[in-house]
Amino acid sequence: MSTPPPTPAPSGATRSTATAALDRSRLRRFAWLSMAAALATIVLKTAAYLLTGSVGLLSDALESLVNLAGALMALGMLTVAARPADEDHAYGHSKAEYFSSGVEGTLILVAALSIVYTAVARLISPRPLEQLGIGLAVSVVASLVNLAVAMVLLRAGERHESITLRANAHHLLTDVWTSAGVLVGVGAVALTGWQRLDPLVAIGVAANIVWSGARIVRTSVLGLMDTALPPSEQDTVRRAVEKHLVEGVQYHAMRTRESGARRFVSMHVLVPGSWTVHEGHQLLERIEAEVRASLPNVTVFTHLESLDDPAAWEDINLDRFDV
């Protein structure tokens, strides 16, 4: 008697996985866009600083240098992450994106320290600002450039589940908000004549940058530490599995982790000892197909065990110790 073919995965899951793999190689164009925006804003904000002498505008220009460094790192890591799995990296290269976001977060923190250093010096020895109208206009243009690019990167990051693009986008959005703070500070100096308002606002800008950088670094560290999928996605996996738990079938030792845009799920499925290997395998095929259809970019590992074997209940931990 011929063996029936395995239950095929839903076509939607197959298409989404193929499309995701294809799209990873196209994300580099967003890094090039970020680099172009960084160069444009460096020129604009440096010009604004030279026109006004505002340390707040100088802090904005310094952060744009970090934007450029982050974009360069993003380009490199997106290139690595797009590589297919190979003999030395059987699970792919998607974790490379965490290095990019981690480095960018660290650069943000370094830029914040530079801003504080410059602002404190100006706080001690204030200096009048010049040509505020032109300087503020140039800074507004730079902020609009950052805002437009940030929204493009944020949408792309969410659509392609790229932590690199999301980190880059949030950094640019932080730059927009801090630029708005600088504009308020410079405007306040123009209205009140109190020169120390400018460095005080710059210090506030630095504090905001520290918050953004620390959050990006934390997200990167969690990814490198193989953090589990969010609770909502774990619930999605459980619902998908439980659809196929016919009488006498159980599962345990479910583990999940993220690696860039890819998700990994593993579990043990326990079936009656009277089942044939073929019956058990067919059930695992259906479970894996259901999970793939429920979550994008997910790789599923299942292990078949017998309900009648006591050893099946002893290996639910990450490490198994045989006595």
Mean pLDDT by 10 residues, the chain (323 residues): 39 40 70 89 82 70 77 86 84 83 80 78 69 69 88 88 83 75 71 75 79 83 86 95 89 90 92 93 95 92 91 75 55
Which residue matches tokens 């392609």?
A: 160
List, in sequence order, every residue forming a beta bridge with 113; answer none if it has no partner: none
Helix (H) or strand (E) holding 251: strand 250-259
Taking the mean position of all CA atoms in its chain, how far away is CA 107?
16
Structural domain contains residue 299: yes
Shared domain check, 237 and 220? no
Are residues 284 and 216 part of one domain?
A: no
Say how many domains are in the chain: 2
For residue 297, which of 100, 10, 14, 6 has the smallest C-alpha distance?
14
What local confidence, expressed as pLDDT, does residue 12 receive? Answer: 39
Residue 236: CA atoms inside 13 Å, Cβ hemisphere, count?
Answer: 16
Rounded to an integer, what is the distance from CA 169 to the centroid of its chain?
Answer: 10
Structural domain contains residue 5: no
> Cα separation of 259 and 127, whole Å?
50
- Residues 148, 241, single domain; the answer is no
100, 80 in Cβ contact below 8 A? no
Residues 91 and 161 in one domain: yes
Classify the phi-psi angles of 297: left when phi > 0, otherwise alpha if psi is within -120 to 50, otherwise beta: left
Q: Are residues 153 and 181 in the same domain?
A: yes
Give the residue numbers spanning the domain of 60. 11-224
Interaxial angle between packed helices 132-160 and 11-24, expressed in degrees from 0 to 180 and rounded to the nearest 10? 140
Q: Are 255 and 265 in contact (CB under 8 A)?
A: yes
CATH of the domain at 239: 3.30.70.1350
Using DSSP's 3-state secondary structure scheme, residue 268 falls into strand
pTM of the model: 0.66
**In residues, how long is the chain?**
323
* Cβ contacts of 226 within 8 Å, gap of 6 or more: 257, 258, 259
pLDDT reported for residue 93? 84
What single string gives the DSSP state of each residue in 193-216?
A: --TTHHHHHHHHHHHHHHHHHHHH
Question: Running DSSP on this structure, what letter comes out for residue 270?
Answer: E
Does one domain contain both 212 and 237?
no
Residue 3 lies in a domain: no
Please report the pLDDT score of residue 57 as a whole number.
67
3-state secondary structure of 87: coil
> Do residues 32 and 57 both lie within one domain?
yes
With 0-12 / 13-18 / 19 or more C-beta atoms within 10 angstroms meaning exposed / middle / buried, residue 79 is middle
56 with 190, same domain: the answer is: yes
Quick check: helix, strand or coil at residue 5?
Answer: coil
Domain boundary among 177, 201, 224: 224
